[in-house]
Structure 1
């Protein structure tokens, strides 16, 4: 797709959130110039699984698609001069250094506006442009822990556990891209540029929209870690993943009463639909035992017949 054809983005981004967010815009047709240090961007040197492909790391391959790259020494007058010339040709400047770094280089928002008055200047950081954590390192795992995401993903038995992918980075990247697109639309209407700010912390909080909405409206559990098989403290039974005889099965939405019937759970161990949240600790052991006694094929057939989402 080339919906953003003709839009030039000057990208000073590293690691994951910034590069992936700008990559989404490159995939939509934007002309992205990725500015790197003369030693190469961080993601050229470090990546997951200790795996390279033709000398390129997994992290680079994950976030460098459809971009052109340019190496500049931004601590040198010649490098800065080239960067300023490029800003003059750009629609968007995007960066994810710690707050203040671009200002010190003379490439911050105010400086960019002097060069290109209608510039859209997008910054992604760990904790936002100010506040007590502004100078602390912002990284997915750290933010998962700080925001509470690792806690609600963890279990009562084993404690906090991070999500198995860089979910905060990826959601932050999507917010970064959508913020830039909204700013571009606003400029089409008003002729004015603006500043866009996105943070990993805001992305992590946004991922917990359901949880925080419940909590802030008075639902206060004794423990926000996952109870038993239930995948989230604010969900009722049976919502979760259960071990079967030959694997595991996710049981999502459907009548708890219909599920109990499909699993032939004894009447005295069944819980009514209206009690799926308040009595989930009583409901899930019987569900878990019934699921464990069956194969995946048997469960799929029974759930399909009963209209249980799985």
Structure 2
């Protein structure tokens, strides 16, 4: 298949129709960026190494074809796969032919390797002066960590993220958050950076190199709330956002599960203890004023935790809704496919893959009134689109 099919559901042009994105990235950081662009209608050609391709293809068991892991499928819909050995002259020439007419080049290969291949920014700009060159790097290239490798674990460690759980539960062992959160956050930064650079080019005709460092992106993401008292000079206290680090502000047990109940404003406390059938709980002198309640917030959470097991989760959800208190049941990951809201908004889409059979696709979460969602290409098998070429004429 040589033509892109990322078009709006009603056949109208998608918002990034005609934008050509050459994707030389692997794992999650870069692929999440380029899939986001594909979800908006961009024509994305993913260049992979012959034989193994993107390492994330092998991150878990495939349903039918080796190299089609669930993680790879989650981050690579809407793309075509072209297998090129960039150490071979003919394949490198093919790559450069694609770059001549590309609008955006997203790459997460380290700088020195790109220079050896002649795919660094200056070399690419020489053949395509107005290209938007998005370099996904581990660390900003002007700093002392510039040449270091970066993966999600490394970035969670370097940003202090691995010390958050110990602050909550008192277990001193540093631990990772069980999500590829740094990769995904950095991927979203790369996506909006690509769009901003495209808009700049549309206004000025000027292409540019855009550097997206995962360390800086995730430091910004985590420290926005967790810089805490160190936001000021001199510091007013330690780093960390106390509300998020409170060991008592956790899901509350019920008679048949757990529930999240949020007391975000002071006036919520009286409603919460009323719906828990203990309206006199706040009569104690230590809860007399708003300042007292802040000072003794741990005792309030502990009081809630002692009362919630008297109720079923469903009962508490109804009571909280009636009292205008935010609440949700704690849902197991395996139960997410049955969530009535997500199914009501068609978030999970049951699709048929040409080689992998039935699979679940999560639609892009953002909805635009001017264009319906697109019908994306299925995640590609390695090298599936050997004759991939750009569609249409150069844009811009």
TM-score range with shorter-chain normalisation?
Answer: 0.7 to 0.9
Q: Structure 1: which 4+ aligned runs deviate by more than 4 Å?
A: 223-226
Cα distance between partner residues in 2 of 1:17 and 1:3: 23
Bigger mean CA offset, 197-206 vs 115-124 = 197-206
Matched, 1:241 2:258: no
Q: Distance in 2 between matches of 1:270 and 1:91?
A: 63
Report the CA distance between 1:88 and its aligned residue.
0.6
- Residue in structure 2 matching 1:13, options 25, 46, 62: 25
CA gap 1:276/1:116 in 2 versus in 1, 3 angstroms: farther
- Name the Cα RMSD after superposition: 2.5
Q: CA deviation at 1:139?
A: 1.1
Alignment partners' CA distance in 2, 1:268 and 1:44 = 56
CA 244–73 in structure 1, closer or farther in 2 if over 3 Å, else same:
same
Structure 2 SS opposite 1:282: helix
Residues 286/269 of structure 1: CA separation in 2 closer, same or farther (3 Å cut): farther
Residue pairs, 1:1-310, within 5 angstroms? 1=8, 2-43=14-55, 45-48=57-60, 50-55=61-66, 56-154=68-166, 155-159=168-172, 160-208=174-222, 209-212=224-227, 215-217=230-232, 218-221=235-238, 224=240, 232-233=244-245, 239-252=249-262, 253-254=264-265, 255-263=268-276, 264=278, 266=281, 267-268=283-284, 271=287, 272-310=289-327
Structure 2 counterpart SS, 1:197: strand
Q: Which runs of 5+ in 2 are unaligned?
A: 1-7, 9-13, 328-396
Cα distance, 1:5–1:126 mapped onto 2, change above 3 Å: same
What SS does the corresponding residue of 2:105 show, helix, strand or coil?
Answer: strand
Is this contact kept in 1: 2:273–2:304, CA < 8 A?
yes
Distance between the aligned counterparts of 1:269 and 1:301, measured in 2? 30
Deviation at 1:108, TM superposition (A): 0.6
Determine which structure has greater relative contact order: mean sequence separation of CA pairs < 8 Å that are 6+ residues apart, divided by chain length.
2
Supply the distance in 1 between the matched residues of 2:251 and 2:221 (Cα, whole angstroms). Answer: 20
> How big is the shift at 1:86?
1.2
Could you report, residue by residue, the CA deviation over 1:119-177 in whole angstroms, capped at 9, with x for unpaired residues?
11001122222422223221112212221223224523334443332122111111111
What SS class does the counterpart of residue 114 from structure 2 fall into? Answer: helix
Assess if the C-alpha contact under 8 Å between 1:269 and 1:283 holds in 2. Answer: no
Closer, same or farther in 2 for the Cα pair 1:158/1:295, shift >3 Å? farther
Kept in 2: contact 1:15–1:42 (CA 8 A) = yes
Question: C-alpha deviations, 1:80-102, integer Å up to 9, x for none?
Answer: 22211111111111101233321
- What TM-score does the superposition give when structure 2 sets the normalisation length? 0.69
Does the C-alpha gap of structure 1 residues 293 and 162 become closer, same or farther in structure 2, counting only changes over 3 Å?
A: farther
Larger deviation, residues 172-181 vs 79-88: 79-88
Q: Can you give the 5+ residue segments of structure 1 that lack an aligned partner in the other structure?
A: none
In the TM superposition, what is the alpha-carbon distance from 1:270 to its structure 2 partner?
6.5
Tell me which moved more, 112-121 or 142-151.
142-151
